[in-house]
Amino acid sequence: MTSDFSGFPLPSIATSSFNVSVLQGATAGNFSVGDVNGDGFSDLVMQEEPQAAPVTFLGYVRVIYGFQPLTHPQALFRTGTSDSTSVFMDLSVDGDPTEVRVSGDVAEGWGGRWEPFRSAIPVRLSSGQGSRKVRVTFRNKFLRESQPVETTVVLTSSQPQSKPLTNILNAEDGANGRVTVECQVTEFSRMKVGVYDRRGQRLVDLMDEERGMGVWPVEWDGKNASGKRVAPGIYFLQVETNGRVERHRVVVRG
């Protein structure tokens, strides 16, 4: 082969035969992946006419070099410090990822497995004080993996500055149902309070205002930003003051 089907010149290939693996869910002999030009990256091989297994390519095939790579991976903690081992990470990568794997300083039994890709994920860190490094790898449906990316968060052991008066919201309480958290402000600062679901998506902002010293109660009525009551489940009420972030688990019952 000297050019692809569009006439674009192809790199030289040392041999006319190469090993390929049939894609999961694809017709045998139709779409396969293999390293055709020996550059260490998987290439997509498309046979003009499907053939029955075992796969043997004879005649014309199409090759797309470096098929759907995942590049520029990013994984960022939403804050550089945390008073809790349960934190959120924002993820992004160029390409079409389907899975993500988290490893490093994570709780035993939590990381190391492939999970469905989401742009924001909760991460449970190993306990203790100091820096925690987490590695994230992305993978697409062709089992092509990105380069792992590493990021760091610092766990602190300072006393919490907010506490929920209750962490259970019952639907049967109707319009009177509330979850209240008391936020202590030790100096004039901006206080942000919001509610997040288990995927890390913000549902509603409860407060984003300057506050002086004192204890400030903040209530959540179990509704999202559109005024609709959320489904029963587990949610997180996040309080941020002067760059310090605290999260409180809230259970909404049907």
pLDDT in tens, 186-220: 667 788 899 999 888 999 999 998 887 778 888 99
Answer yes or no: do 176 and 111 share one domain. Answer: no
In this prediction, residues 28-50 reach a mean pLDDT of: 61
What pLDDT score does 196 carry? 93
Q: Is the CB of residue 190 less than 8 Å from the CB of residue 243?
A: no
Domain stop point among 67, 96, 124? 67
Answer yes or no: do 48 and 80 share one domain. Answer: no
Answer yes or no: do 94 and 118 share one domain. Answer: yes
pLDDT at 132 exceeding the cut of 80: yes
pLDDT at 12 exceeding the cut of 50: no
Say what percent of the chain tops pLDDT 70: 63
Answer yes or no: do 242 and 187 share one domain. Answer: yes
What pLDDT score does 30 carry? 57
* Position 8 confidence tier, pLDDT thresholds 50, 70, 90: very low
Token pair, residue 150, equals: 């590493």
When computed from its CA atoms, the radius of gyration of the chain, rounded to whole angstroms, is 25
What pLDDT score does 119 carry? 92
In this prediction, residues 51-66 reach a mean pLDDT of: 54
Q: Which of these ranges, 24-28, 65-69, 158-162, has the smallest mean pLDDT?
A: 24-28
What pLDDT score does 91 carry? 94
Answer yes or no: do 178 and 249 share one domain. Answer: yes
* pLDDT top residue among 103 and 161: 103
d(CA 2, CA 103): 43
Answer yes or no: do 128 and 175 share one domain. Answer: no
What pLDDT score does 118 carry? 92
75-118 pLDDT, tens digit each:
998 877 776 677 889 999 998 899 999 999 887 766 788 999 99
Average pLDDT of the chain is: 75
Answer yes or no: do 93 and 127 share one domain. Answer: yes
What pLDDT score does 193 carry? 92
CATH number, domain of 148, equals 2.60.40.10
What pLDDT score does 234 carry? 92
Answer yes or no: do 136 and 187 share one domain. Answer: no
Answer yes or no: do 13 and 85 share one domain. Answer: no
Torsion of CA 39, 32, 137, 11, to 10 degrees: 20
Backbone phi, psi, residue 175, to 5°: -65, -15
Burial class (CB in 10 A: 0-12, 13-18, 19+), 211: middle
Answer yes or no: do 81 and 57 share one domain. Answer: no
What pLDDT score does 90 carry? 93
Domain stop point among 155, 181, 206? 155
What pLDDT score does 111 carry? 72
Range of the domain at 186: 162-253
Residue 237 burial (CB count, 10 A): 22
* pLDDT top residue among 222 and 128: 222
Domain stop point among 115, 136, 155? 155
Answer yes or no: do 139 and 212 share one domain. Answer: no
Secondary-structure breakdown of the chain: helix, strand, coil percentages, each rounded to the nearest 5: 0, 50, 45
Domain count for the chain, please give it. Answer: 3
- C-alpha distances in Å from residue 22, one per residue of 45, 52, 70, 146, 171: 9, 12, 20, 21, 51
Q: Which of 53-62, 102-111, 164-173 has the largest mean confidence? A: 102-111
Answer yes or no: do 177 and 247 share one domain. Answer: yes
